[in-house]
Amino acid sequence: MSTIVGTSNRIIEINLSTSEIDEFEVTENDRRQYLGGKGLGLKLLYERIQQGAEPLGEENWLAFMMGVLMGTGAPCSGRFSVVTKSPLTGIMLSASCGGPFGMAYKTAGYDGLLITGKATSPVVVVVDEDGARISNGSHLWGLNTQDTQQRVNPEGKAGVLAIGPAGENGVRFANVASGHRFVGRGGVGAVMGAKNLKAIVARGKHCKIVPADPKRFVKAKKRASAYIARNPTTADDYRHFGTASHVKWCNAAGILPVRNFSRGSHPQADQVSGETMRQRYNSRPRTCKPCSIMCGHKGTLPDGTTCQVPEYESLGLLGPNLGIFEPDAIARLNERCGLLGLDTISAGAVLAWCMEAGEKGLIQTELKFGSVDGLHQALDDMAHRNGWGDQMADGTRCLAERYGGSDFAIHVKGLEVPAYDPRGSWGQGLAYAVANRGACHLSAGMFALEVTFGLLDPYTPRGKARFVRFFENLYAAVNSLVTCQFTAFAYTLEPPVVKYTPAWLLRWIMRYLPWLAIGLTDVSVYSALWRSVTGEKLNQWQLLSAGARIHVLERLMNTGDGISRKDDTLPQRMLTQARGDDPEGRTVPLQSMLDDYYRLRGYDLLGIPTKKILSRLGIEPKWERHTDSRIAHFKLTRPKGKRLKRLYLSVLFWFVGRAVEAGPRVDRDVRQICAALPEGLTFSLGVAPDGPAMIVGKDRRGKIRYWGGDTTDRLIDVKLTIKNIEAAMLLFTFREATTTAVARNRLIVDGDIGIACSVVRILDVVETFLLPKALARLAVRRYPNWSPLRKYGGRILIYLRAVLGV
């Protein structure tokens, strides 16, 4: 057995059209910049795939990337990444998978596999220590995922990736099996099927992976294992009940999908909880190797059949989302999807859409909420594209485009929404909307912070953009190492700074000082593991920077296929319809969070990565970017230079903001207007797109407060936005009144018009105090006839309070 120190950096490249097989090595720079796994896969495909390539065409590529931790024995490192272009969404797709394939491939001596082209007939790719070869797979065509694995690996010593009938027939959400685990989302199975690639077999155990720095590795592994062993989620909930443990708290928080996301909770939910299924099926761990979390479980059905206990996502979409609360029925639907090679999330969402479309008379179907009748046949029809199943096989977006019902087609960018309703977790709503692959709970799992741990208020946009960006960067890095994302619960919450900070203080810091909370978050265990394996220096900030590079590269590739702000949205149901069981009628206030997110990410207002951020991350633009050139409301002009004007406006906004805070304490008119404003209201006046601003709010005691000029992490109820810096100079050199600026479309209002009018009245009164009469006549709509005492006495007090803050 040979020994590999760190990583082999060897990649096999196969063209199925020509049967050419090559091998190359990853450069040191690419490994350092993109880590491995997802990141390296994206980089290699960015260099190879043609802009506009058809996902099911010969020109599409598949990248199977093992990552540097695979084979080292690092905790939860039995995962690999897959990158391709999705036939369901038409944009880039990355997915992570466990099972035996990754370990077998890595210990055959390779770090990755790239495949393009299309074989003339079904084939199997076999990889061992001597390289890769292409063999006939015609005899396997038509077999399900488990029978295929058994046929090509009868002794069970190899690692296999296999598609089922769904992949063969081009179902746009077909998955790929590795043992009892799946490359689940976005249609990787369909891409393999389109290439006539039935399976990939890896025969490993020829190489031993040795960390470059064994002492550092042992230390990092010990710390990582200790964190996992003492974290309640990883050491208790998942180990005993699997991810189905989410059912109870999702139901309690109102984010469990019920009847196609029309409700967020149900009194029968406990019947399908992880705790109930553990008792019912006597479940026990059956998970990836090596793993110390052990979230996967198998159990025994009442008829004696052994099956994989459904994961939370499968359970939610095939269960309550269909109005079904019978655990045996859900388990059998889950098993059927696995054999056919269907993604359970998308399959459940398609069935739910059909049920609701049938109720509303858009289609004819016998499928009904709460009934299991016809569901197995519907899944079979999907996988084989028989009858109506041929329509269902294209996903909810295509169904809605053909038959109507887009208002209840629950997807983002074509990818169906996982089992967390964002109306009860607004940060998760933003994460869904901006996720690169479409609706993805793994891009930035905000539901955990908002609901599971209660660290963030789920019903405010405050700070959400900053946390979404942070976790996108972190998870992009994690999926490039590659290791299980569930380790993040332990690795971020168990380090001393977080663990021993009082819960009330931790919540306060996260909610009101998110930048500080993120800055204090210790994720160094990830960088320590990577450094110990590769021998290359890497701290946690460099790791997060690599994560940002990976995420932005994926976004850039998507913009080449037309993705922009118009696509960063949520299903209409989430934006306009409250959950049926929410008495407060809440929906997701997406747009304000989206603006903040783009600003933090370094995107323009259309959601396109700017040249500045690409240059900073070292990404070379390669594709022409196709975007919608229209922007809602008006065309924004980004100020360039004009430093003196920006400085002048910054100082003026600071002074006016403090004067507005002082106004109610000095003048009765301002006091009366402010008293009528709602408690907790926040309003802003600023220059688009990223110019100076001021924020003023009414606190819980009814006091008016100036909150500074950073709009990034504030919930702003009413926004007064000046179109550009020149328009702002007109207004604040007092050549134009505020009301005139509104009338001439130089200033727009986003929010309640009545409150905006009150804000303008406050500004008028304050400017009357601040300015000499000659200027004030130009700045305000109507100059008041005040007594000298009120005018001059008030002016002195306003100035004193504004300057001194008294």
Residue 806 has pLDDT above 60, yes or no: no
Residue 374 has pLDDT above 90, yes or no: yes
d(CA 421, CA 251): 10
pLDDT at 663: 87
pLDDT at 591: 86
What number is the average pLDDT over the span 717-728? 85
Residue 23's pLDDT band (boundaries 50, 70, 90)? Answer: very high
Which class for 15: exposed (0-12), middle (13-18), buried (19 or more C-beta within 10 A)? middle
What number is the average pLDDT over the span 624-644? 51
What number is the average pLDDT over the span 212-236? 95
pLDDT at 714: 61
Residue 308 has pLDDT above 90, yes or no: no
Which residues have CB under 8 Å from 665's CB, separation 6+? 671, 797, 801
What number is the average pLDDT over the span 279-287? 85
Residue 585 has pLDDT above 50, yes or no: yes
pLDDT at 740: 74
Of 599, 257, 551, nearest to 417 by C-alpha is: 257
Helices 794-804 and 753-770 sit at what angle, rounded to 10 degrees?
100
Residues listed for the chain = 806
Only one residue has tokens 């093992």, namely 66
> Which CATH architecture fits 235-419?
Orthogonal Bundle (1.10)
Examine residue 689 and say whether the peptide bond preceding it is cis (omega within 30 degrees of 0): yes
- Cα 427 to the center of its chain, rounded Å: 10
pLDDT at 688: 82
What's the whole-model pTM score? 0.81
Residue 630's pLDDT band (boundaries 50, 70, 90)? Answer: very low
pLDDT at 531: 95
CATH number of 422-632: 1.10.599.10
Fold agreement between 2-210 and 643-804:
no
User: Do 380 and 211 form a contact (C-beta atoms < 8 A)?
Assistant: no
Radius of gyration of the chain (CA): 28
pLDDT at 781: 62
pLDDT at 805: 65
pLDDT at 342: 98
> Percent of the chain at pLDDT above 90?
69
Of 467, 531, 442, nearest to 35 by C-alpha is: 531
d(CA 697, CA 717): 9
pLDDT at 162: 98
Assigned token pair, 367: 């499928």
> Percent of the chain at pLDDT above 70?
96
Per-residue pLDDT tens over the stretch 166-220:
999 999 999 999 999 999 899 999 999 999 999 999 999 899 999 999 999 999 9
What number is the average pLDDT over the span 310-337? 96
CATH number of 2-210: 3.60.9.10
d(CA 484, CA 98): 9
Residue 323 has pLDDT above 90, yes or no: yes
- Cα 285 to the center of its chain, rounded Å: 28
DSSP assignment letter at 263: B
Residue 634's pLDDT band (boundaries 50, 70, 90)? Answer: very low
Per-residue pLDDT tens over the stretch 60-106:
999 999 999 999 999 999 999 999 999 999 999 999 999 999 999 99
Q: What angle do CA 731, 735, 740 make, to 5 degrees?
A: 65
User: Do 656 and 738 form a contact (C-beta atoms < 8 A)?
Assistant: no
Residue 636 has pLDDT above 50, yes or no: no
Residue 628 has pLDDT above 70, yes or no: no
What number is the average pLDDT over the span 713-726? 79
Long-range own/partner contacts, residues 533-536 (CB < 8 A, 24 or more apart):
533/6, 533/7, 533/68, 533/69, 533/72, 533/74, 533/211, 533/212, 533/213, 533/217, 534/6, 534/7, 534/31, 534/68, 534/212, 535/5, 535/6, 535/212, 535/213, 536/31, 536/32
Domains of the chain by residue range: 2-210, 235-419, 422-632, 643-804
| DSSP secondary structure, 614-681, as one string | HHHHTPPP-SPPP-----SSS------S-HHHHHHHHHHHHHHHHHHHHHHHH-HHHHHHHHHSPTT-
Residue 14: helix, strand or coil by DSSP?
Answer: strand
What number is the average pLDDT over the span 773-797? 79
* Distances, alpha carbon 566 to alpha carbons 146, 340, 559, 562, 590, in Å: 41, 34, 11, 10, 12
Which residues have CB under 8 Å from 644's CB, separation 6+? none
Residue 705 has pLDDT above 70, yes or no: yes
Per-residue pLDDT tens over the stretch 385-427:
999 999 999 999 999 999 999 999 999 999 999 999 999 999 9
What number is the average pLDDT over the span 653-676? 88
What number is the average pLDDT over the span 507-534? 94
Which class for 116: exposed (0-12), middle (13-18), buried (19 or more C-beta within 10 A)? buried
pLDDT at 638: 46
More confident: 151 or 768: 151
Residue 139 has pLDDT above 80, yes or no: yes
Residue 643 has pLDDT above 90, yes or no: no
Residue 632 has pLDDT above 70, yes or no: no
pLDDT at 341: 98
DSSP assignment letter at 288: -
pLDDT at 635: 42
Residue 758 has pLDDT above 60, yes or no: yes
- What CATH class does 643-804 carry? alpha beta
d(CA 37, CA 64): 8
d(CA 767, CA 779): 7
